[in-house]
Each structure stands twice: as structure tokens, then as C-alpha cells.
């Protein structure tokens, strides 16, 4: 009987902990310019969805810039992925989310990340933000896959809002100072949520307990 109850509980746990894709986007349906920003020693900057630039020759979000030697000593260029009508992100806990993506740089360099949320759709309502880890890529021109738990980001963002935005910022200081022809590519953006145990699990516990009582009475 104990084994049966354990099997029921394991099955319920697996069901209620199933991954939910909040964002699952290979970017292949996009073309033209991308949202984002730049600052500091940035010149000749471009941000575009480019066919053939992504993983396996798919569409990728490409950022390219020169960091000018006569500038102010720092600079950055960012791509912002926007989900303005987000659904499925029911948990307010950052640690319940995993952000995955593929990234490539054409030099040994790196980037930083920011996760932003608005309570309403279409960038409406209350705004919140979390900064993420700095990431360095030592091997140029090779896509690397990243999977980051949002719990590793600074506290602040409330991820169950109607609008989510993720920024990848390529940084002059991580590319070794001023230089020309700096490029970064982002592809295959996914945000998954592991939902907390729901009332289904509680119902299952009750059912398992009743089953045990019936067996003992019999």
C-alpha cells in the first residue's frame, strides 16, 4: 500500500512540476531592425535580425559596433527581446524561471544581462528590473548555449507581469577596450517556469489518504 501511495505522489509531483514555456522563440519569424539601445564609445552601430546568422543558418539577432578610441572610456550596445502580451508566467518568484539562449561573439568578449517586467500588457503598469551576471565568451565565432536561473539575477523584477523584456548588452570593457568590428549574435530565446505544487497535488494527497483508510478498514 505504501508503495502505491508513493507512486501516486511521485506521479502528481511530476505532473505539477512540468515546465511551462513562457517564451519559446527561435527568432526565425523576424526581419529588419531590433529594439535596443547604445551608449558611450559606440559608433557605426547596427541591430538587426539577420537570416543565416543564427544557429544552423537560421535567423539571429545581430549586434555590431565599433568602440571608438577617442571616446569616453566605456560603451555598450544592447538587443532587447520583448514579450508584450505574456501568458503562463504565474509565479512571482524569480527562482521558478530558467532563461535559455544561444550566444556568439566574433572576438573573445562578453556581455551583461537585464531582465525587466511590467505588470500590464503593452508595457503598461508597474515596472520592475533585475540585473544579471556578466558573461565572458573566450572562444570567438562559436555559438554557446546558456541556461540561467533567474534566481541568480539581482532581486527586483516581478516576473509574472503582462510584459517581459530581456536585454543582452555587449560591453566595450569585456571586448578589451576600443576596437572595430565587434559583433554578438543571440538566437533561440526560451523562458521556462516550474510552477509551484497546485491544488491538484493536495487533492491527490487526500485521495491517497482515503485509499489507505479504505484498505485498512477492509
pLDDT digits (tens, 9 = 90+) for 165-182: 999 999 999 998 899 999
- Position 17 scores a pLDDT of 58
- Would you kindly state where each structural domain of the chain is located, as residue ranges? 1-17+198-218, 21-196
| pLDDT higher than 90, residue 209 | no
pLDDT digits (tens, 9 = 90+) for 14-40: 444 578 999 999 999 999 999 999 999
Are 75 and 38 contacting, i.e. CB atoms less than 8 angstroms apart?
yes
Q: Mean of the per-residue pLDDT values for the chain?
A: 87
Residues 43-66 as b/e (b if ≥16 CB within 10 A, e otherwise) read eebebbbbeebbbeebbbbbbbbb
| Domain spanning 21-196: CATH 2.40.30.10 | no
Residue in 113, 114, 112, 106 with CA at minimum distance from that of residue 66: 106
Amino acid at each position: 500500500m505504501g508503495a502505491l501511495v508513493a507512486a501516486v505522489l511521485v506521479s502528481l509531483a511530476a505532473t505539477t512540476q512540468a515546465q511551462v514555456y513562457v517564451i519559446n522563440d527561435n527568432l526565425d519569424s523576424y526581419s529588419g531592425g531590433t529594439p535596443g539601445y547604445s551608449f558611450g564609445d559606440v559608433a557605426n552601430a547596427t541591430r538587426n535580425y539577420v537570416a543565416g546568422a543564427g544557429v544552423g543558418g537560421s535567423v539571429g539577432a545581430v549586434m555590431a559596433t565599433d568602440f571608438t578610441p577617442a571616446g569616453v572610456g566605456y560603451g555598450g550596445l544592447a538587443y532587447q527581446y520583448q514579450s508584450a502580451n505574456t501568458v503562463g508566467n504565474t509565479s512571482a518568484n524569480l527562482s521558478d524561471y530558467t532563461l535559455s539562449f544561444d550566444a556568439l561573439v566574433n572576438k573573445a568578449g562578453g556581455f551583461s544581462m537585464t531582465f525587466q517586467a511590467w505588470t500590464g500588457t503593452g508595457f503598461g503598469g508597474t515596472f520592475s528590473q533585475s540585473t544579471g551576471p556578466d558573461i565572458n565568451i573566450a572562444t570567438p565565432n562559436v555559438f554557446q548555449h546558456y541556461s540561467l536561473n533567474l534566481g541568480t539575477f539581482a532581486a527586483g523584477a516581478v516576473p509574472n507581469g503582462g510584459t517581459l523584456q530581456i536585454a543582452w548588452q555587449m560591453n566595450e570593457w569585456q571586448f578589451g577596450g576600443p576596437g572595430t568590428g565587434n559583433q554578438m549574435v543571440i538566437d533561440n530565446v526560451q523562458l521556462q517556469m516550474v510552477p509551484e505544487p497546485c491544488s491538484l497535488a493536495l487533492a491527490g494527497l487526500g485521495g491517497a489518504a482515503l485509499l489507505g483508510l479504505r484498505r485498512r478498514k477492509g
